[in-house]
Structures are given as C-alpha cells and as structure tokens.
Amino acid sequence: MNELAQIEKEFSGLATITPAKMKKITERMVEVDRANNSLGRRNTQTTNQLMTLTMLTDSPYRRLRQILAQIENKRGALRSSFFGLQKVKLEMKEWEEEDTPLSRIKLAEAE
C-alpha cells in the first residue's frame, strides 16, 4: 500500500477530511510536486537574487519559491506526525499485551 493510500485510509473517519476533499488535495499535490521539481533547491537565495534584476524586489518568482518551501515544510511535518502516530499505535498494542503496571501507565499516557 502506498503512502497516500495509507493516509487516505487513516483519515477517512475524520469529519473535516471527506473523500471528496482528499481527492481534491491529491489532484493538486501533483502540480505542487511538479513545481518543486522544476524549481529545485540547487540555488541559494543569494544566487537567485543575483541571477536577474527582478530578484532584487519582491518578485512573483520569489514568492512562489517561498510558498512552495512552506508547503514542503508542512508536508514534511504531516508525514512525520502521521508515521509517529503509527509507531505509537504499535507500541500501544505491545503494552496491552504486556499487561504490567508500567505498560498500563504508558498506555494511559499514550491515549
């Protein structure tokens, strides 16, 4: 199962992320990925500023790069949170099976 299918399955019970909204997000992330791949991260901010005179002002290209960087940061945070939650769920199952006083405390804390 790929990462997107896993995320869709996990969030299917949430009231805020309906299947229609998830489909819309999925369709639009293709364009974000394309833009990130085309802009890349080969150049530093200084290099970008020196490439053209329009870079010295608050240009649309510069804003686009900033927005794409923010989207990528949010995506990384969500990915990290999602897989962290998956790990905690596995640990909780192990603690339920152990059934020791310490495991019950860990389970209550995780819940």
Measure the CA–CA gap between 31 and 83, rounded to whole angstroms.
24
Contact 48, 62 (CB under 8 A): yes
For residue 1, pLDDT over 60 is answered with no
Of the two residues 83 and 3, the one the predictor is more confident about is 83
Q: In Å, how far are 12, 23, 70, 98, 111 from 46, measured between CA atoms?
A: 43, 38, 19, 56, 47
For residue 55, pLDDT over 60 is answered with no
Confidence bin at 78 (pLDDT 50/70/90): confident
Q: What is the mean pLDDT of residues 55-64?
A: 68
Q: DSSP H helical segments within 44-59, as ranges? A: 45-51
Supply the mean pLDDT for the chain: 77
Contact 75, 69 (CB under 8 A): no
Q: What is the mean pLDDT of residues 58-78?
A: 81
- What's this model's pTM, rounded to 2 decimal places? 0.54
Of the two residues 98 and 19, the one the predictor is more confident about is 98
CA-wise closest residue to 92 among 104, 80, 82, 79: 104
Token duo for residue 66: 């900033």
**Per-residue model confidence (pLDDT) at position 90:** 92
Of the two residues 110 and 5, the one the predictor is more confident about is 110
